[in-house]
Amino acid sequence: MRITALTSLLALTFGATASLADGVVNIYSSRHYDNDESLYQAFTEKTGIEVNRIEADADELIARLTAEGANSPADVFLTVDAGRIWRADEAGLLQAVDSEVLTSRIPAHLRHPEGHWFGMSQRARIIFYDKTEVENPPRTYEALADPAYEEQVCIRSSGNVYNQSLMASMIDALGEDGARDWAAGVVANMARDPQGGDTDQLRAIVSGECDIAVANTYYFLRGLAGGVDGLSDGIEGIGWVFPNQSDRGAHVNVAAAGVTVNAPNRDNAVAFLEYLVTDEAQAYFANQNNEYAAVPGIALAENPARLGLFRADDLNLSVLGEQNPTAQKLFNEVGWE
């Protein structure tokens, strides 16, 4: 576990004095981006509220919140992927927040219907391809299962939450039987057994191991910015498709945050979430971490702008969590490792 204290150095757990003091907000975060520190520091400068943070894997933090119960010092749970924030909510770890600021700024499909969590930034999960090898890339997620792309597709394992959420969206769009058939078609078109992370799928295009890959835009934009071994040097040979632009739109996921059910500093936690949806904070997400703002109307940073505008699926992201168990069941049935 990596522990970061932004305005003070804390021990493994927040001290009782810190967690109950005025002017403090304690965050359990599975976002592991050093650049986020400048955002939190800006919040402290604007509000005087001291920010303390513990970072770990999302499932580890969910287990920790569960074990701590009413004695937890955590005020905010912050994670990446709607599936993970759904797990925390299903475990009863988040509380409803009634904030006009949050509901007016965040589109309805990017937040929990009852205010248990709010999407703060977006990433699209899209199709990438080798521009020299693929003349007619797939234009929809459904087309990834077309036999025309046999032995061309690289994609992560079924245990990856990004793919579980994509599969959940396919279940909503196609029904269980249609989604199962789709997954079986993708398995038949795989160039190799699923392995590695999103960056590894993109590297496989550069190396020639596959012609088509599915990955989040964030990982491609990191490579575009430079310095990613095995990707950046060959990235100009990779093309991209925002799928399903003529119907439901490209699948998006979020970094999301919610106020914990036992938050000792609830008002400060709400103030923190409301700060994250200001133009300033949203521009940070877009400009500093290769993500898309959740609030409409925020200008794109240079690298996301190179990908262009796209139509996003407006499926309420709560569905991604609700369908997660079914998604994994269907993956298992078709042998998606």
Counting Cβ atoms within 10 Å, is residue 34 exposed (0-12), middle (13-18) or buried (19+)? Answer: exposed
Residues in CB range of 211: below 8 A, 6 or more apart: 129, 130, 133, 134, 149, 152, 153, 191, 205
Residues in CB range of 242: below 8 A, 6 or more apart: 124, 126, 250, 307, 308, 310, 311
Q: Is residue 198 one of the residues assigned to a domain?
A: yes
One domain for residues 210 and 145: yes
Residue 32: predicted pLDDT:
77
Which tens digits make up the pLDDT trace of 33-76?
Answer: 777 888 899 999 999 999 999 999 999 999 999 999 999 999 99
Residue 294: predicted pLDDT:
95
Q: Is residue 73 one of the residues assigned to a domain?
A: yes
One domain for residues 246 and 133: yes
Q: Which domain holds residue 300?
A: 2-122+253-307
Measured between alpha carbons, how far is 337 from 334 in angstroms, rounded to an integer? 9
One domain for residues 137 and 113: no
Query: Is the pLDDT reported for residue 106 higher than 80?
Result: yes
Mean pLDDT of 279-284: 92
Alpha-carbon torsion (75, 80, 82, 86), positive or negative: negative
One domain for residues 217 and 329: yes
Mean pLDDT of 310-314: 96
Contact 251/317 with Cβ under 8 angstroms? no
One domain for residues 67 and 207: no
CATH number reported for the structural domain that contains residue 197 in this entry:
3.40.190.10
Q: Strands 212-216 and 252-259, how do they pair? A: unpaired
One domain for residues 75 and 13: yes
Mean pLDDT of 298-321: 91
The number of folded domains in the chain is 2
One domain for residues 6 and 135: no
Which tens digits make up the pLDDT trace of 241-268?
Answer: 999 999 999 999 999 999 999 999 999 9
Q: Which residue has the tokens 């039987």?
A: 177
One domain for residues 201 and 324: yes
Q: Strands 2-5 and 50-55, how do they pair? A: antiparallel
One domain for residues 89 and 41: yes
